[in-house]
Homo-oligomer: A and B are copies of this chain.
Amino acid sequence: MTKTAAIIGGGVIGGGWAARFLLNGWDVRVFDPDPEAARKIGEVLDNARRSYPGLMDRGVPREGRLSFHPTMSDAVAGAIWIQESVPERLELKQKVYQALQAECDPQAVIGSSTSGFKPSELQSCATRPEQVLVCHPFNPVYLLPLVEVVGTDKNSEDLHTQAADILTSLGMHPLRVRKEIDAHIADRFLEAVWREALWLITDGIATTEEIDNAIRYGFGLRWAQMGLFETYRVAGGEAGMRHFMAQFGPALKWPWTKLMDVPEFTEDLVDMISDQSDAQSGRHSIRDLERIRDTNLVGILRALKAQDWGAGALLNAAEQDPPPVDPTDLVETVRRVVPLDWTDYNGHMNEARYLQAFGDATDRFMEIIGCDAQYIATGGSYFTAETHIRHVDEVHAGHEITVRTYCALGAGKKMQLFHQMFEGDRLLATGEHLLIHVDLQTRKSSPPGDAVANALGAIADQHAKLTPPTGMGRAVGQR
- A side interface size, CB within 8 A: 179
Q: Is the CB of B227 within 8 A of A191?
A: no
A223 contacts across to B, CB distance below 8 A: 215-216, 219-220, 223-224
- Contacts A/B (CB < 8 Å), 5 sampled: A55-B305, A58-B320, A116-B254, A185-B214, A387-B476
User: Is there an interface contact between B269 and A202, defined as CB atoms closer than 8 Å?
Assistant: yes
Known: A217-B146, A336-B60, A473-B476. A252 touches B306 (CB 8 A): no
8 A Cβ contacts from A34-83 to B: 43, 47, 49-51, 53-61
CA distance A294 to B216 in the complex (A): 15
Chain A residues 318 to 366 lying within 8 A of chain B, measured CB to CB, are: 318-323, 335-342, 350-356, 359-360
Q: Is A465 interfacial (CB-CB < 8 Å)?
A: no
Complex CA gap A432/B144 in Å reads 38
In the complex, which of the residues B51, B171, B177, B188 contacts A340, with contact meaning CB atoms closer than 8 Å? B51
Q: Which residues on B sit within 8 Å (CB–CB) of A47?
A: 290-291, 294
Interface residues of A in 183-237 (CB under 8 A from B): 183, 185-230, 235, 237
Inside 8 A of A61's CB, which chain B residues have their CB? 320
Interface presence of A121 (CB below 8 A):
no
Q: Does A29 interact with chain B (Cβ within 8 Å)? A: no
Instruction: Flag the segment in A152-160, A272-280, A456-464 that touches B.
Output: A272-280
A262 within 8 A of B: yes
Residue of chain B at shortest CB distance from A61: B320
Q: Check if B198 sits within 8 Å of A186, measured CB to CB.
A: no
In the assembled complex, the CB of A452 is this many whole angstroms from the nearest CB of chain B, namely 19
CB pair A314–B171 under 8 Å, yes or no, is yes
**Are A476 and B416 within 8 A (Cβ)?**
yes
Q: In the complex the two chains form, what is the Cα distance from A384 to B24 in whole Å?
A: 34
Q: Is A474 an interface residue (CB 8 A)?
A: yes
B-contact 0/1 string along A429-442, CB 8 Å cutoff: 00011100000000
C-alpha gap A383/B354 in the complex (Å): 13
- Residue A242 interfacial (CB < 8 Å): no
Residues of B within 8 A of A201 (CB): 269, 272-273, 276
- Interfacial chain B residues near A297, Cβ < 8 Å: 51, 140, 143-144
Asked if A276 and B138 make an inter-chain contact with CB atoms under 8 angstroms apart, the answer reads no
Do A309 and B336 form a contact, CB below 8 Å, given A185-B206, A416-B477?
no
Task: Say whether A208 contacts B280, CB under 8 Å.
Answer: yes
Chain B min CB distance to A190 (Å): 6
Q: Which residues of B lie under 8 Å from residue A352 when comparing CB positions?
A: 352-353, 355-356, 359
